[in-house]
């Protein structure tokens, strides 16, 4: 098994706010970005991005994001103030083509400033809630407030806003023939640490989601093999059932040293030849008896 060679431990109670923040945003990656539109009781619109954001259930559909209080002054963000007042908001997903404008909305403007005008984004009227949403986004959620959870009440503390989705808006341009959202067509971006982001479609890979045999059924000598990494073991454990031994094929491996067999097994796994890799494992197992 592969483990990190050295771990450094931090006690958040002994760290300053900036270090805690860095460890959070740099280690919890990638994070989706919610471009949130809210509106106050006077009708002033606010648009701001949040990457402490995710979905928390589908029955009912609940999403959440967390505007942190100012680390310097402890003041609440306009988004939090607005949602407290009106109980409504929209979330527009951020695509790669929206990045430049989204960065503008992340700046701290006075509360009476309309970030749509500052950034150049276009408003579209919502079906159910009062706040509009970003017309340039291909995926929109109209939300009504479910709950607000105070996460500390101090400078830099989060405020988890949970909302019930009351409308989805999905562009035809990102749907496949079965009306399912295509990750490639969506071209979403994710937030990393510092000033780094990720373009999701460039990082997509597929995995076998079928139920495999699991790590518990891997032979002990395989789990302890120094040549195989955790990724190799995961692939071996992904087979639905262990292939039966091919006695004729195993005879051709009789003269190979054990270490060569282990490297051959690794090579076969890397090339996706899991059935042949398991045949090599049978032969390694004979040497371990």
**Is the same domain home to 196 and 220?**
no
Residue that terminates a domain, selected from 203, 223, 241: 203
**Is the same domain home to 225 and 167?**
no
Rounded-to-integer distance, Cα 24 and Cα 8, Å: 15
**The predicted structure's pLDDT at residue 29:** 94
CATH code where residue 167 lies: 2.30.110.10
Does 106 fall in a domain?
Answer: yes
Does 241 fall in a domain?
Answer: yes
pLDDT tens by residue, 133-173: 999 999 999 999 999 999 998 888 999 999 999 999 999 99
User: Count of domains in the chain?
Assistant: 2
Distance of CA 13 to the CA centre of its chain: 27
pLDDT tens by residue, 31-41: 999 999 999 99
Instruction: Put residue 120 in one of left, alpha, beta given phi > 0 → left and psi -120 to 50 → alpha.
Output: left
**Is the same domain home to 22 and 155?**
yes
Which residue range(s) make up the domain with 17? 12-203
Specify the pTM.
Answer: 0.75
**The predicted structure's pLDDT at residue 284:** 85
**Is the same domain home to 185 and 277?**
no
**Is the same domain home to 142 and 236?**
no
Rounded-to-integer distance, Cα 37 and Cα 133, Å: 6
Residue that terminates a domain, selected from 203, 227, 250: 203
Rounded-to-integer distance, Cα 53 and Cα 67, Å: 9
**Is the same domain home to 153 and 265?**
no
Does 284 fall in a domain?
Answer: yes
In tens digits, the chain (289 residues) has pLDDT values of 456 668 889 999 999 999 998 999 999 999 999 999 999 999 999 999 999 999 999 999 999 999 998 877 778 899 999 999 999 999 999 999 999 999 999 998 988 899 999 999 999 999 999 999 999 999 999 999 999 999 998 888 999 999 999 999 999 999 988 889 999 999 999 999 999 999 999 998 776 656 688 888 888 888 888 899 988 998 888 888 888 887 766 677 777 888 888 999 999 999 989 988 998 888 888 877 5
Rounded-to-integer distance, Cα 51 and Cα 54, Å: 8
Does 2 fall in a domain?
Answer: no
**Distances in Å between the alpha carbon of 117 and those of 91, 98, 142, 195?**
18, 15, 21, 24
């Amino acid at each position: 098994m592969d483990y990190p060679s050295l771990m450094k431990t931090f006690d958040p109670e002994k760290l300053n706010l900036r270090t805690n923040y860095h460890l959070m945003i740099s280690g919890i990656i990638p994070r989706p970005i919610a471009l949130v539109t809210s509106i106050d009781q006077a009708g002033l619109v606010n648009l701001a991005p949040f990457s402490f954001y995710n979905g928390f259930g589908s029955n009912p559909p609940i999403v959440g994001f967390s505007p942190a209080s100012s680390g310097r002054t402890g003041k609440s963000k306009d988004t939090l103030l607005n949602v407290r007042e009106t109980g409504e908001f929209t979330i527009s997903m951020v695509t790669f083509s929206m990045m430049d404008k989204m960065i503008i909305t992340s700046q701290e403007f006075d509360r009476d400033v309309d970030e749509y005008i500052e950034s150049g984004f276009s408003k579209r009227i919502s079906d159910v809630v009062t706040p509009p949403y970003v017309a340039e986004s291909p995926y929109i959620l109209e939300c009504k407030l479910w709950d607000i959870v105070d996460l500390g009440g101090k400078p830099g503390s989060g405020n988890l806003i949970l909302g019930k989705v009351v409308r989805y808006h999905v562009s035809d341009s990102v749907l496949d023939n079965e009306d399912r959202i295509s990750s490639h067509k969506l071209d979403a971006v994710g937030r990393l640490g510092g000033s780094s982001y990720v373009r999701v479609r460039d990082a997509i890979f597929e995995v076998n989601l079928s139920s495999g045999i699991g790590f518990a059924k891997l032979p002990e000598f395989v789990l302890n093999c120094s040549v195989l990494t955790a990724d190799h073991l995961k692939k071996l454990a992904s087979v639905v059932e262990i292939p039966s031994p091919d006695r004729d094929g195993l005879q051709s491996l009789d003269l190979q040293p054990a270490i060569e067999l282990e490297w051959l097994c690794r090579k076969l796994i890397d090339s996706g030849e899991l059935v042949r890799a398991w045949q090599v494992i049978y032969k390694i197992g004979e040497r371990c008896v």
